[in-house]
Structure formats: C-alpha cells, structure tokens
Amino acid sequence: MYVKKTDVINVKRQIRNANDLNNTLMSILMSVLQEVADKINDKLKARIDEDVYINRNNYYLNGTGTPSYEFRESVTTDEMVKGKNEVQIRIFHDKEKMSFKPDDFMHGSRYWKDGTADIREWLPKIINDGLSGNLFGKNKWWQKERPYFSNTLKELESQGLIRKWFKEGLKRRGINMVG
C-alpha cells in the first residue's frame, strides 16, 4: 500500500537539541523506508507474476492450470530494526504463508535430500536460479531459471527506483534531498 500525499502528516515539533532532531528525522526516515519497502514488494510481486507464473500454468495445483499465488503472496517485510542513526527493513518470502503438500509437489517434494520434504525456505533461490534439478521430475519447465528476483534488482538499479522513491517520500514530508 502506498502512502498518498493526503495521508502524510507533516510533523511540526519544537526541536530543542540534537536528540530531538535525531528523533524527528528517524521518525520521518522510518515512514519513508516503509513506503519504499512496500513499493519494492509490489514490484517483486509483479515480477513473480511475469517471470514465474505466466506461460507456466500447465501444471500448477495438480494440473488445474492455476497457480495458488502463495509464493507471490509470501513476499513481506520484517519489522524495522532501528539503530542509533540508521534503520533497516528486510524484504523476504515468509514460508509460513505458503501451503506445504509434498505429495502434490506443492512447495515441497518427498525427493528432497534430507527427507523433510519441505523446501519452502529454499524456493526463492530454486526458482530464481533454476536449481530444482530432478526434485519435481525430469526435463520440465520448472528446471529452467525464472529470475524474478534478479530481474527485480536489475529494474530497481537500472531505473534508480529506490533513490527516486526515497526522494519522493522525503519531499512529501517537506524534505528536499539534494543529489
């Protein structure tokens, strides 16, 4: 969800010292960072649709031809980690948002080497890099690289989107970022 201009509340505080300034700027930074992370999540989900699901619907959900979309919907963010002068947020796939049905090869396989059959935590790497091997059968489309994550990174970097979105978020909060 994107923050609309009308949703942004300009914080007007009296800044009496360096600590007040730091707290005000960190509050703004956290708000902008969450907004940027949401946009990255949306971009990543769109790439999953394009690179993972489109033209690959002949097998999903036991041959129904329709993906569950759980892999796409597992894209999420952690709570922000705030340091003294920095803020971090992690974008990742939450494996708990994906069903696990190894007998149907849904996010798992009884052929997995350690016998657990649950491969949800490795699915991003397997799908992006085409590393399934014979895990779900031989000579199939899912053995091919479907670089949704790599393509998302390339798009974000080549278009300078993270910087652009960050600058826009700051500007909506009354801060012009130079450079």
How does DSSP assign 134-172, residue by residue?
Answer: TBTBSS-GGGS---HHHHHHHHHHHTTHHHHHHHHHHHH
Give domain status of residue 121, yes or no.
Answer: yes
Position 107: which residue type?
H
Q: If 0-12 CB within 10 Å is exposed, 13-18 middle and 19+ buried, where does residue 87 land?
A: middle
How many structural domains are present in the chain? 1
Sign of CA dihedral 160, 162, 167, 172: positive
Give domain status of residue 151, yes or no.
Answer: yes
Position 179: which residue type?
G
Strand partners, 82: 87
Give domain status of residue 178, yes or no.
Answer: no
Q: What is the pLDDT along the chain (179 residues), one digit of tens a residue?
A: 344 444 444 555 688 999 888 888 999 999 999 999 999 999 999 999 998 887 665 556 555 667 889 999 999 999 999 888 889 999 999 999 998 887 777 777 776 666 667 888 888 998 899 887 766 666 666 667 889 999 999 999 999 999 999 999 999 998 998 87
Give domain status of residue 177, yes or no.
Answer: no
How many other C-beta atoms lie within 10 A of the C-beta of residue 77? 16
The rounded distance, in Å, linking the Cα atoms of 147 and 39 is: 19
Give domain status of residue 57, yes or no.
Answer: yes
Give domain status of residue 128, yes or no.
Answer: yes
The residue range of the domain holding 142 is 5-171
pLDDT at 157: 97
Please check whether residue 111 is in contact with residue 135, taking contact to mean a CB–CB distance below 8 angstroms: yes
Give domain status of residue 155, yes or no.
Answer: yes
Give domain status of residue 83, yes or no.
Answer: yes
Category of 67 on φ-ψ map: left (φ > 0), alpha (ψ -120 to 50) or beta: beta
Please name the residues in contact with 154: beta carbons below 8 A apart, sequence gap of 6 or more: none
Strand partners, 88: 81
pLDDT at 6: 41
